[in-house]
Amino acid sequence: MFEILKSFETKYGSLKKKGLRIEGLSMIDPKRKKHVIMISKPFLFDNRQLPKTYEGLDIKSKIEGTLPEEFKIEKSAVKKDYLWAPSKFEKFVDRCADDIKKQFGNPNMSRAEMLDALAFGSFEDHKKKTLNLIKEGKIPAINLN
């Protein structure tokens, strides 16, 4: 298992310059002995550069640092709001497109590319997943427009 982590670090270690931190292996399910590779990264990170899984291990990530104002939730609204609502990504991209392009070093980046980069690799997949979570009652109903 440590060989997989070393291989991951070799392949994706260059992303450390962009804020990626590879934290190591973590067991998330002791009964099934399920391990994951834990990483942390800043909010402004191109998630398309990382896989969802690597050699059979899921990649679990957390955001380090502060979130943009679009993602801030009042404590009283925690149960009524979804932190990663697709509309929040859209509002952020619309407000900060120039800064995002500069951060990613791509002045020709389209709105769709920025949304994919920020919304965990695929904005459309994120929207579908959000709809499913709403249907299952796992997150509050939100406006997707």
| DSSP conformational letter for 119 | T
pLDDT in tens, 91-116: 999 999 999 999 999 999 999 999 99
Model confidence pLDDT, tens digit, residues 16-58: 999 999 999 998 888 888 899 999 999 999 999 999 999 999 9
Spatial CA neighbour of 120 closest among 39, 35, 29: 39
Q: What is the pTM of this model?
A: 0.86
Domain boundaries, given as residue ranges, for the chain: 2-64, 69-135
Structure tokens that stand for 44 in this block? 């402004």
Sign of the CA dihedral running 88, 91, 95, 98 = positive
Structure tokens that stand for 23 in this block: 């934290």
